[in-house]
Amino acid sequence: EVQLLESGGDLVQPGGSLRLSCAASGFPFSSYAMTWVRQAPGKGLQWVSAISASGGRAYYTDSVKGRFTLSRDNSKNTLYLQMNSLRAEDTAIYFCAKDSMNTVTGSFQQWGQGTLVTVSS
Partner 1 sequence: DIQLTQSPSFLSASVGDSVTITCRASQGISSYLAWYQQKPGKAPKLLISAASALQSGVPSRFSGSGSGTEFTLTISSLQPEDFATYYCQQFNTYSFTFGPGTKVDTK
Binding site residues, partner 1, CB under 8 A: 37, 44-47, 50, 59, 61-62, 95, 100, 104-114
* Residue nearer to partner 1 on the CB measure, 14 or 89: 89
* Residue nearer to partner 1 on the CB measure, 16 or 46: 46
* Residue nearer to partner 1 on the CB measure, 1 or 121: 1
Q: Tell me the three-class secondary structure of 49-97, residue by residue.
A: EEECCCCCCEEECHHHCCCEEEEEECCCCEEEEEECCCCHHHCEEEEEE
* Min CB(106)–partner 1 separation in Å: 3
CA dist 96 → 6, 14, 66, 120 (Å): 7, 23, 20, 23
* Min CB(16)–partner 1 separation in Å: 26
* Min CB(79)–partner 1 separation in Å: 15
CA distance 60 to 67: 10
